Each structure stands twice: as structure tokens, then as C-alpha cells.
Amino acid sequence: MQVIKILMIMCTVVDDSNRLDLFSKGKFVVLFDSKNREILFKEENPALNSSTKRPLVAKECVRLRAEMVIAAHGSLCYPSYSILRKANIKMLVGNIGDSIYTENLRAVSKWEVTYSSFLAIKERLFGH
């Protein structure tokens, strides 16, 4: 007997309009069902008040038991990538400002992780 999974629980960071935003800048962390296009859980982004912004979001998505994370371009630094990979969570990258339900997502590449890591270093050195 084969079990068919209907629901995919996804985690991401959004702005006030539920559009993708950087892990370090978005206002909310949300869990949503991609099939039914329904937000299941929404909380203030804990990373906004932390020095380790991106990794804190990754840890929060793991804690919330997400099956997949959509990271806005520039969000997935190496520590965040490692946390999610270790938790066996699938990852995709979208564009800042896109709807959370967008189909314009791409696989994570080493260039994405490198770019995000440099952006994280820049933010820590010079602020937002």
C-alpha cells in the first residue's frame, strides 16, 4: 500500500503583504500549505532582534517542522543552509517581493549560498 502525501508544509519569511523577504529583514515567519494556499501559522520574525539573523530563521523553520523552506534571494547563507540540510529540509530560492505561492522558484546553488553569505557579512559589518 502506498501513502500519498497531499500536504507540503512550507516555511518562509514575509513582509506585511505576505511577499517573500530576506530572512534578516522580513517582518514575519510563516508556515503555509502550498496546495491549499493557506497560511497555517504566522509569528513575528525572531531574527529581527538577533545578531545571527539568517541562522535563527533556519532554526525556527526546523522547530516548526517545515518540510520545505523558500528563501528569498540573499537569505540562505552557509550556516542557514547547513542547519536546514542537516534537518533534511528541502530548500528553494525565490525573488524578494514575489508571492509566497509563486511558481518562479529555483534550486539552491553554491553561488546562492556564497552570495547570501557575503550579504550577511556585509549586513553585520555595516548594518541594514
Domain assignment of residue 4, yes or no: no
| Cα separation of the two ends of the chain | 52
Domain assignment of residue 23, yes or no: yes
Domain assignment of residue 70, yes or no: yes
29-39 pLDDT, tens digit each: 999 998 888 99
Domain assignment of residue 2, yes or no: no
Its pTM stands at 0.89
Tally of structural domains, the chain: 1
CATH number of the domain bearing residue 97: 3.30.420.130
Q: Are 47 and 53 in contact (CB under 8 A)?
A: yes
Domain assignment of residue 110, yes or no: yes
Per-residue three-class SS string for 56-78:
HHHHHHHHCCCCEEEEECCCCCH
pLDDT score, position 1: 53
Domain extent at residue 97:
9-126
Angle at the Cα of 112 (from 82 to 77), degrees rounded to 5?
40
Taking the C-alpha atoms of residue 53 and residue 45, their distance in angstroms, rounded to an integer, is 9
87-125 pLDDT, tens digit each: 999 999 999 999 999 999 999 999 999 999 999 999 888
Taking the C-alpha atoms of residue 60 and residue 76, their distance in angstroms, rounded to an integer, is 14
